Amino acid sequence: MMNKVAFLLFGAVFGFTLSRVEASEYNLIYGMFTGSDFKLFWVMGTAIVVGYLGMRILNLAGYQTYRGEPLKIKKIPLSGKTVAGGLVFGVGWGFSGACPGTVLAQLGEGKLLAWFTVAGLILGTYLYALLLEKWPALK
């Protein structure tokens, strides 16, 4: 129960932070994709550095996964599937003005268009699951 509360609080702080740095603003996302505003690149760069340092600190402190394994980020080899997935993600982000993380912040801010993105996320996940049933090689 305590873990669930901690995750809920962490998620609320994360969403609040996304909102405060304006990462959920359509205009900021548009500016990133058009190259007219680099603020979101700085936000992402900072997140990468903080995430890296956080993982290093947790590793040094001896934290492990729920399976008792050392914490590590598994490297995924670059393949056609990763490129295709990245393209689908990028196009969806460009069209919707949101990624899966920022869309929840947009919902919290009361942006009604975010519901269309959520519907797209659910539909896309469902369609991917259907495709995996027919063609397991897609995995």
pLDDT reading at 2 higher than 80: no
With cut-offs at 50, 70 and 90, classify the pLDDT of residue 30: confident
Does 47 fall in a domain?
no
Does 125 fall in a domain?
yes
pLDDT for 85 equals: 87
Quick: pLDDT tens for 56-101: 998 899 888 888 888 888 888 889 888 988 898 888 888 888 888 8
Task: For CA atoms 24, 26, 32, 33, give the dihedral sign.
Answer: positive
**Distance (Å, rounded) from C-alpha 60 to C-alpha 58?**
5
Does 123 fall in a domain?
yes
- Rounded to 5 degrees, φ, ψ at 64 are -130, 170
The domain of 111 spans: 2-37+75-138
pLDDT reading at 115 higher than 90: yes
Does 127 fall in a domain?
yes
Does 54 fall in a domain?
no
Does 46 fall in a domain?
no
Does 15 fall in a domain?
yes
pLDDT for 111 equals: 93
pLDDT for 69 equals: 86
What's the whole-number mean pLDDT along residues 1-20?
86
